[in-house]
Structure 1
Amino acid sequence: MEKQTNRYRITQTGNILYIVDSKRPSAGCIMAEMREYWQGLRRNGSVPLRADVSADAISRVLDYAFLVERLAPGMARFRLVGQHLVDLMGMELRGMPLCSLINRVSRKRVSEVTETVFRAPQIAEMQLSSQSVPGSSGIRGNMLLLPLKSDLDDVTRALGCLVSQGTVGVRPQRFDLDGTKFTPVIPGGEILQPSFPADPDPP
């Protein structure tokens, strides 16, 4: 069953009702707005400071935004998380690893991609998908990671966003990595490619 109101689309799958804001910005608009905001924080082309990030400045896309901190090579954890990510997982994510959003088979590759954001530094965009589970026909998503400097002037933070399309079924909803795109911080700069493992992580 599906019912459309002026703003919200109500979909029923079995005994579960899903209410979707039909006027939310598109995935492309959300990611473009986040990139533009990050670019506006830069000083003389440098990587922006985490301290300069303001939730009020990205209020229109705040539900899809998050901040992560690099703890060790290949390991980043959530510091702040928007409501869209909480809804996907059905739990609070602050303090949890970024890879908690990812299925085991893709976690190593996502860790490698995330590490390049801090090491290069560079911008990374990931194309994600989730296989069909009870109550869902499968969803697709896009994740954007934008490097930030800490108060110590090292690149150990990242501003990100995740936007998904499709009906979320049983939570938590985790994703596989389908593709990546990298953009250098300095136009024309060299891209640091991740060293993906030859074989996926064991189940």
Structure 2
Amino acid sequence: MADPGTPEEKVTANMMHAHARTLVSYWDSRRRTDAVPARADIAAADLRDLLGNLFMLQRHDPSHHVFRLAGTRLCDLHQRELREQNFLSFWRGYDREYMKLLLESVLANAAPGRGYATAETINGDRLDIEMVFTPLASKAGSVDRILGLYQPLQSPDRFHHRPIIRHVLTRILPPVSKLWTLPVTPPPEFPDAANDQ
């Protein structure tokens, strides 16, 4: 394994799946200036190739981010309907707390975040997952929804219809909040030094 500090590892760690890039670009294109897109600004037809892996969460409180919609591939991987289920039920222990903080951070900063996990089936098969979380505003204007992508990084065909029962978080990339800069203040002007000669 390469040293995590080597440039090769950093480049690999920050790469996004093509579907993840598509979702983030689409989300950014639907924004109005600095505002978060509204749920009404999102058209499913625009994301046709991603629909099976897309989901929408609604925040009820910090511990409950409930599936409003879940793509067919996502439901098939878990062998159950996910609508009205708490997304945080995928996670246990510290992973649940970290994921809760990531979702809350995405909403508070009104910026996308990402997570990486290993999903495990009932018989121990594993699959790497990339997740993207983009915030959306409700009709009332509050930022309380997340349009997300659950993207397997390998083919799940080998699972042979065995459900995913466990997720282990491997990495989170929280949103980058807006950078606030102080105004540039010119240096104070001092009178020329007195000539003591």
Q: TM-score, normalised by structure 1?
A: 0.72
Q: Which residue of 2 aligns with 1:198?
A: none
Gap runs ≥5 in structure 2: 1-15, 182-197
**Identity, % of aligned pairs?**
24
* 2:131 maps to which of 135, 138, 143: 143
Shift of 1:116: 1.1
Q: Are positions 1:179 and 2:171 aligned together?
A: yes
Relative to structure 1, the CA distance from residue 75 to residue 55 in structure 2 (aligned partners, 3 Å threshold; closer, same or farther) is same
Relative to structure 1, the CA distance from residue 91 to residue 189 in structure 2 (aligned partners, 3 Å threshold; closer, same or farther) is farther
Relative to structure 1, the CA distance from residue 141 to residue 174 in structure 2 (aligned partners, 3 Å threshold; closer, same or farther) is same
Shift of 1:137: 3.2
Relative to structure 1, the CA distance from residue 137 to residue 114 in structure 2 (aligned partners, 3 Å threshold; closer, same or farther) is same
Shift of 1:100: 2.8
CA contact (8 A) 2:67 2:87 kept: yes
Q: Which residue of 1 aligns with 2:188?
A: none
The answer to which structure has the higher helix fraction is 2
* 1:82 maps to which of 60, 71, 75: 71
> SS in structure 2 opposite 1:183?
coil
Q: Which residue of 1 aligns with 2:51?
A: 62
Shift of 1:95: 0.5
- State the distance in 2 between where 1:56 and 1:189 align: 36
Relative to structure 1, the CA distance from residue 171 to residue 132 in structure 2 (aligned partners, 3 Å threshold; closer, same or farther) is closer
Runs of 4+ in 1 over 4 A off after TM superposition: none
> SS in structure 2 opposite 1:51?
helix
> SS in structure 1 opposite 2:175?
strand
- State the distance in 2 between where 1:132 and 1:74 align: 25
Relative to structure 1, the CA distance from residue 176 to residue 50 in structure 2 (aligned partners, 3 Å threshold; closer, same or farther) is same
The answer to which structure has the higher strand fraction is 1
Relative to structure 1, the CA distance from residue 28 to residue 93 in structure 2 (aligned partners, 3 Å threshold; closer, same or farther) is same
Shift of 1:46: 1.2
- State the distance in 2 between where 1:107 and 1:184 align: 21
Q: TM-score, normalised by structure 2?
A: 0.74
> SS in structure 2 opposite 1:111?
helix
> SS in structure 1 opposite 2:40?
helix
Q: Which residue of 1 aligns with 2:159?
A: 168
CA RMSD of aligned residues (A): 2.1
Summarize deviations over 1:26-57 as a string: whole Å, max 9, x none. x7111011011101100112111011111111
Q: How many residues align?
A: 162
Relative to structure 1, the CA distance from residue 119 to residue 153 in structure 2 (aligned partners, 3 Å threshold; closer, same or farther) is same
- State the distance in 1 between where 2:89 and 2:119 align: 14
> SS in structure 1 opposite 2:50?
helix
- State the distance in 2 between where 1:143 and 1:189 align: 28
Gap runs ≥5 in structure 1: 1-26, 191-203
Bigger radius of gyration among the two: 2
